[in-house]
Amino acid sequence: MDRHWSEEARAIVRRAGHNRGAARDALIELLSDQDCALSVAEIETRLGAQRPVARASVYRAVELLHSLHLITRVDIGDGVARYERAAYDHSHHHHLVCDSCGVLIPFEDPGLEQAIDRVGAQLGFATTEHEVTLHGTCVRCN
């Protein structure tokens, strides 16, 4: 899906002083093909279809990629963290969660982003990242 992202991600990881590793490379490749967030369990399962990868390695990899701002963490309140690749231009989406069927719907909204930027600036808070999640019922469920 996004070949450029996976190349860039590997380059940034190396520049940060890390050796290359099969598990992390496979994870980067997997995330580059996704349009929305995956949980660690989902990542582990999908990678395992090709070559088994230890859970600890998945956690280590997402932690590193997240600390380098290469992926964003999505928390929809079910106690399971999800991760998805971040765009270089800081463009990103947020999520609607249907509490009835559990579907995760991504959306983008410039007006919302502006409002968030304004809030951080007003309070003198150096915002590095933000999370927005809407809960409710989707069109099919209501």
Partner DNA sequence: CTGAGAATGAGAATCAGACTCATTCTTGAT
Partner DNA sequence: ATCAAGAATGAGTCTGATTCTCATTCTCAG
Residues of this chain that bind DNA (CB under 7 A):
14, 18-25, 39-41, 51-57, 59-61, 63, 79-81
| 93 binds a second copy, rule: CB under 8 A | no
CB atoms within 10 A of CB 83: 25
**Contact status, residue 68 vs residue 83, Cβ threshold 8 Å:** no
- ∠ CA 94-77-125, rounded to 5°: 60
Query: Choosing among Zn ion, DNA, a second copy, none, which partner's interface includes residue 11 (Cβ < 5 to 8 Å by kind)?
Result: none
What burial letters (b/e) apply to 26-54, b meaning 16+ CB within 10 Å? bbbebbbebeebbbbebbbebbeeeeebe
Looking at residue 87, the DSSP 8-state letter turns out to be P
Tell me how crowded residue 93 is: count the other CB atoms within 10 A of its CB.
17
* Residues near Zn ion (CB under 5 A), total: 5
Residue 2 binding partner per list DNA, a second copy, Zn ion, none, with a CB distance cut-off of 5 to 8 Å that depends on partner kind: none
- Pick the stretch among 3-11, 26-34, 42-50, 97-105 that binds a second copy (CB under 8 A): 97-105
Tokens 């582990």 appear where? 44
By rule CB under 8 A, what string of x and - marks binding of each residue 118-137 to a second copy? Answer: xxx--xxxxxxxxxxxxxxx
Say how many residues make up the chain: 142
Closer to a second copy by CB, 20 or 111: give it. Answer: 111
Q: By the criterion CB under 8 A, which residues form the site for a second copy?
A: 73, 75, 77, 79, 81, 96, 98-99, 105, 107, 109, 111-112, 114-116, 118-120, 123-139, 142
